[in-house]
Amino acid sequence: MIIKNIHESCFLSAASLWEITIKYQNKKLELGISLEELFAFADRNQIEIIPINYIHLLQLSKLPAHHNDPFNRLIIAQAISEDLKVISRDTIFKNYMVKQVWD
CATH number, position 58: 3.40.50.1010
pLDDT number for residue 37: 96
Q: What is the mean pLDDT of residues 79-89?
A: 93
Q: Supply the range of the domain harboring residue 67.
A: 2-101
d(C-alpha 85, C-alpha 76), whole Å: 9
Give the Å distances, CA to CA, from 36 to 39, 43, 47: 5, 11, 15
Q: Tell me: pLDDT of 15 over 80.
A: yes
Q: How many domains does the chain have?
A: 1
74-93 b/e (C-beta count within 10 Å ≥ 16 → b): bbbbbbbbeebebbbeeeeb
Query: What pTM was estimated for this model as a whole?
Result: 0.86
Q: What average pLDDT does the structure give for the chain? A: 91
